[in-house]
Structure formats: structure tokens, C-alpha cells
Amino acid sequence: MKIFSEELVAKAVHELHVADLAQATIGEVLLVAQYLEQATGIPFIRMDRGSPGLPANRLGIEAEKAALDRGVGSQYPAAAGVPELKYEASRFVKAFLDINISARSCVPTVGSVAGSFGSFIACSQRIKGKDKVLFIDPGFPIQKSQLRVIGVGWREFDIYNYRGAALRAKLDEMLSAGDIAAIVYSNPNNPAWICLEEDELAIIGELATRYDVVVMEDLAYFCMDYRHDFGRPFCPPYPPTVARYTDNYILMLSSSKIFSYAGQRMALTCISDGLFDKVYPAMAERYNDSGVFGQTLIASILYMITSGCTASTQYAYAEMLRLATEGEINFVEDTREYARRAERMKRIFLDNGFHVVYDYDVTERVGDGFFFTIGYGDMSGGDLLKELLYYGVSSISLSTTGSEQRGVRACTSRMREELYDVLAERMKAFNEDHPL
């Protein structure tokens, strides 16, 4: 039995001016769920927005307070970032990835959203004729929206059928046209929680060098592949990264998920030293500057977007990175709760006729973490999204993420202990109403 009537959902969609619920954005689904909750008082199982569901790191909060007490709020921060954060970022990358990036090449940004926005601009302008971005999907829909804002085109493919060695031929086909400026993906992946493995990243790195393409590696869920013993400073195993296989890379490291510091909007854009120092005549001509990639990105692009990052938050992030590098906090254990939630939520869905859509990496089953993907029979992602809303469960269709697979993305971050029984009851009703 449905929790919310089709008429009430249709009314919510109409009043909120949602053009197509099947293709609704994260924000639109969120508004519909809120509308239905407020109209009825019935709680939703919120699997839509990927906002942290754990408390912000207390040591970061204290460091930010201390910075404000020292008076940092009275001065504009340097566009390149405060020295303390840049230094700790360089140490953190070495400690947890075993990659050497100098402090000057670690640049704070107002969340990874600002980091990708600025990087898209720089990458698409560095060489004339290389003006498109390649998405290894599924991926973060906002990044394509950023390209719409700046008028940059893109190409995309769903990696579902191109794992392992099959990735080489597909990438070679896409890059051989010569117009790709950058490749972007997240690892672990939003929304599928798949993880690109070392052999796949070696292929990406090799072809990025051959075709002079910048790889933008989004590490928002850094070390959150809980199948492996990542997150011990200066100790293997280290998470896989394309930085081992090319010098054409930008790593994006956010404080939002690993330290639950999302509200303060703080991330790092870590550029390989080789790319940072490379001179591009097209950039020099456009910006009337030296054309040095890193300096142009900082002074002529990122500064125009945000005028630097909040000073006190930079000190907070620096302190959290320092403590992690010195082994005084364990951010991997702090976030492992997401894996426990995913395991319990998946079991409820699987027991009621659902299946995991992106279920395997190349060599092992996809792990549990911040996201997972589910399908139901041959129902399309848009239809499944709508049907789940009637049962008080919000999600987003995989089709909005560049996926060609049928299903929805589920986020674990807002799950609460008292809702597991509610979810089980509702999915039992869903299964009974939708016999396979």
C-alpha cells in the first residue's frame, strides 16, 4: 500500500514547478520530499542528497575558533591559500597517497565544486582546439551544469561495459579526435561506489600523457573504500590514483565527507608540479599573464570566482590534515558508519526483490559506503524514482548521472536507527504491490 497518493505527489510536482519528475535533479527531489513530509507529517527515508550525516570534526571546529580569536577574520586571505594549509596538504598527500606534490601546488578552493569549475575553465583554455571534457560516467551531475555555464562541450560514456582492459580501446576512441582537454571521474564513484583499479588508472594515465589531456580525479570520498586497509599515514596500502601514471593530473580533496566539514565549503585542488609550471601560450594571450598553468588558475580564474577561501576555515582544514598525517585522528574509522548503514539498507532492498546495479569492480564485489545503486526488475530509473516516492523513499535516477543502466542512486548519509524498520516495512509493501 502506498504511503503517499499519486494525486498528492502530482500536486507537489506541479506546485514546485518540477518539469519532469523522472529526470528531476537532486534539489528537485529534495523539495518534493520536503513538501510531502510537511503536508502529511509522515517522515521520508531520505536517500537523495549526499550531505554528510555525521558530526563535523570537533578538532577542526576548535582550530577555526582559535583562528578567529587570533584575528584572521579582519584580513583578506591570499588567493593561493594560507601557508599552513598548503604545507599540511602536501604532507597529507604524501602520507596517504605516497605522491609528492609541493606545497605551492596545493590550492584551497571553496569546496571541490569551485575547484572543478576553475579547473574546467583552465583545462579547456590551455590549448586551442582542445575544448571539450570527457566524463567517465556515472558521475556528479553538477559538473556538467558547470560546463553549461561556461559554454564548454563534453563527451561521456558509461563505464559499466568498459571495465579493466576494455577501458583502453574506449578511451583511445574518445581521445583520438584530439579535442578532449580533460577527463573527469570520482574514485570511489558518486553515484555507483565503484572504484577504478590500478590497471585502469594506468591506462587512463598513459593515454592522458599520449594525448596531452589533464585528468581531474575527484577524491571527495578519499580512503572510503572500506574493503581495504587505507588511511594509515605513510603505510601501504595506498589508495589507487592516476597520479602514479601521468604528470597531467589535478586531484580534488574535499573536507566535506572525510571530516564532515561540508558547511564550511573547503577543499584542495592539488596540481602536479609538472602541470603547475607548464607554460601555455593560449593562456598567456587570453589573460595577458605568464601563461603558467598554476598561476593562471589561481590568480586569473579561481580568484575571479571566489576571491580566495575563508581564512578561518583554511586553518581548520590545515589542523585536521595535520592531525590525520600525524596519526592523531583516524578519519577512515570516523566515517565507517556509512558502510555499516549501506550494508543494512542493501539487505532490506535485496530481501524485497531489488538488485544492486553497479555490483562489481574488475576483481571484487563493490563495497559498502556512502552510496549504492539499486534497480527493480526492468523498471527505468525515472519510473523507479517516482514509484519509491509513493512509498516515502527519495532517490535520484541514474539517468541524471550519465548512466545508461536502469535504477536509482541511494545515499546512506541521512539514515537513522529508527528508520530501518520503517524502510523494511515500506519495501515489503513495495514488493507486494510490484510482483516480479
DSSP-assigned letters across all residues of 36-91:
HHHHH-PPPEE-S-----SPPPHHHHHHHHHHHHTTGGGSPPPTT--HHHHHHHHH
Virtual torsion, Cα 315, 320, 326, 331, nearest 10 deg = -170
Task: Supply the pLDDT for residue 345.
Answer: 98
How does DSSP classify residue 105? G
How does DSSP classify residue 372? E
Name the burial class of residue 281, with classes exposed (0-12), middle (13-18) and buried (19+) by CB atoms within 10 angstroms of its CB: exposed
Q: Is the predicted pLDDT of residue 428 greater than 90, yes or no? A: yes
Q: Is the predicted pLDDT of residue 26 greater than 90, yes or no? A: no
Delineate the domains of the chain, giving CATH numbers in brackets. Answer: 6-54+334-433 (3.90.1150.100), 58-325 (3.40.640.10)
Task: Supply the pLDDT for residue 21.
Answer: 84
From CA 140, how far away is CA 433, in angstroms rounded?
Answer: 32
* Residue in the block written with cell 597531467: 248
Residue 23 — very low, low, confident or very high, per pLDDT cuts 50/70/90? Answer: confident
pTM of the predicted structure, to 2 decimals: 0.95
Measured CA to CA in angstroms, residue 116 lies from 12, 220, 258, 291, 398 at distances of: 33, 12, 18, 19, 21
* Residue in the block written with cell 599520449: 210
- 138 in Cβ contact with 191 (< 8 Å): yes
Half-sphere exposure of 333 (CA within 13 A, CB side): 6
Task: Supply the pLDDT for residue 6.
Answer: 86
For residue 179, give the 3-state DSSP assignment. coil
Summarised one tens digit per residue, pLDDT across range 42-89 is 999 999 888 899 999 999 999 999 999 999 999 999 999 999 999 999
From CA 318, how far away is CA 87, in angstroms rounded?
Answer: 8
Virtual torsion, Cα 280, 282, 288, 291, nearest 10 deg = -10
- 204 in Cβ contact with 215 (< 8 Å): yes
Task: Supply the pLDDT for residue 55.
Answer: 95
Decide the pairing of beta strands 249-254 and 214-218. Answer: parallel
Measured CA to CA in angstroms, residue 297 lies from 84, 252, 278 at distances of: 20, 14, 12
Q: What angle do CA 129, 132, 138 make, to 5 degrees?
A: 160
Percent share of the chain, pLDDT over 70: 100
Instruction: Give the largest Cα separation in the chain, rounded.
Output: 66
Q: What's the distance, Cα to Cα, between the start and end of the chain in Å?
A: 16
Please indicate whether residue 111 or residue 13 has the higher confidence score (pLDDT): 111
Summarised one tens digit per residue, pLDDT across range 257-267 is 999 999 999 99
From CA 64, how far away is CA 46, in angstroms rounded?
Answer: 30
Summarised one tens digit per residue, pLDDT across range 223-249 is 999 999 999 999 999 999 999 999 999
Summarised one tens digit per residue, pLDDT across range 126-161 is 999 999 999 999 999 999 999 999 999 999 999 999
Half-sphere exposure of 397 (CA within 13 A, CB side): 22
Instruction: State the cell numbers at 133.
Output: 571534457
Task: Supply the pLDDT for residue 10.
Answer: 87
